[in-house]
């Protein structure tokens, strides 16, 4: 594990490959930089793949938030990432972000468009006001460790149920997903990522729900692939989020966690075009 200083925090990061072209991957919630290890070895050998944990998760620092969650806003995460790339000496790069990581990647492209060669956003939710309020209230409750280990049991069911229902707490037939559960090893790794961030995991979730994607995505001015897997729980907003981004190429791609080789091929094709 390596860490890099990014302003007031240190962020965990990893790299794969030694190519001349750098692709920066920003993970979603319920994950860390290690998530991209599924796909990284399947990219062309001339690519250098970088994965970075945002503040509050993975191997990054977990500063306490301001009351308005500004320490975990998409803008603050983007500032952290840009500072980390400065410290790593990476001036120009391609950029991929999924789910919350997609909002962070979009904000990086807005803040530093001259540095982003191409942008891939994978799976973006555009919630109507009523659903947004519900998600803020119910999706990511604040948690703390307890002496009985109840938080461990809660996290296991939280992670597992995201594969079974969306939102995960709506456990009726209407909200049932039909993708099935991943291997237990995948659930285990995701549970560990949430447990490492047990007191901060909810902060980025809530900041992401507050982020005004409908307004911000119109400001993106770099070549963009608006991607989504067909079985992504956010696929219902694929058309809408793609239409927000000037000139975006809308593409259905394989899910990275289910078909990493297929996903890597689809992403590499866009980056090479």
The dihedral region occupied by 30, where left means phi > 0, alpha psi between -120 and 50, and beta the remainder, is: left
**pLDDT at site 44:** 86
**pLDDT at site 68:** 65
**pLDDT at site 108:** 98
Nearest Cα residue to 208 out of 124, 120, 113, 119: 124
CA-to-CA distance for 204 and 63, rounded, in angstroms?
A: 12
Query: Which parts of the chain have pLDDT scores under 70?
Result: 65-68
CA-to-CA distance for 43 and 111, rounded, in angstroms?
A: 27
Do 36 and 25 touch, CB atoms closer than 8 A?
yes
CATH number of the domain residue 217 falls in: 3.40.50.1820
Domain range holding 263?
2-272
Mean pLDDT, the chain, integer: 94
Do 31 and 38 touch, CB atoms closer than 8 A?
no
225 bridge partner residues: 120, 249
Nearest Cα residue to 105 out of 219, 47, 24, 205: 24
pTM of model > 0.85: yes
What DSSP character marks residue 165?
B
Domain count, the chain: 1
pLDDT digits (tens, 9 = 90+) for 152-169: 999 999 999 999 999 999
**pLDDT at site 69:** 74
């Amino acid at each position: 594990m390596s860490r890099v200083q990014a302003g007031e925090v240190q962020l965990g990061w990893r790299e794969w490959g030694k190519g001349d072209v750098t692709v920066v991957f920003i993970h979603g919630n319920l994950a860390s930089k290690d998530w991209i290890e599924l796909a990284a070895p399947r990219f062309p050998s001339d690519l250098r793949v970088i994965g970075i944990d945002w503040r509050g998760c993975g191997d990054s620092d977990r500063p306490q938030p301001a009351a308005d969650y500004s320490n975990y806003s998409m803008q603050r995460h983007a500032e952290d990432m840009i500072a980390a790339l400065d410290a790593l000496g990476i001036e120009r790069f391609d950029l991929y972000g999924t789910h919350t990581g997609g909002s962070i990647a979009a904000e990086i492209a807005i803040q530093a468009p001259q540095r982003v060669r191409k942008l891939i956003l994978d799976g973006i939710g555009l919630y109507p006001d009523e659903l947004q309020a519900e998600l803020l209230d119910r999706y990511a409750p604040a948690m703390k460790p307890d002496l009985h280990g109840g938080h461990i049991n809660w996290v296991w069911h939280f992670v597992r149920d995201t594969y079974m229902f969306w939102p995960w707490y709506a456990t009726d037939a209407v909200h049932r997903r039909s993708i099935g559960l991943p291997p237990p090893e995948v659930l285990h790794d995701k549970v560990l990522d949430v447990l490492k961030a047990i007191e901060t995991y909810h902060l980025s979730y809530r900041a992401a729900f507050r982020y005004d994607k409908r307004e911000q995505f119109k400001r993106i001015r770099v070549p963009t692939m608006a991607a989504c897997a067909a079985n992504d729980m956010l696929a219902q907003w694929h058309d809408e989020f793609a239409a927000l981004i000037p000139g975006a190429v809308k593409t259905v791609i394989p899910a990275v966690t289910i078909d990493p080789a297929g996903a890597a091929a689809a992403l590499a094709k866009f980056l090479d075009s």
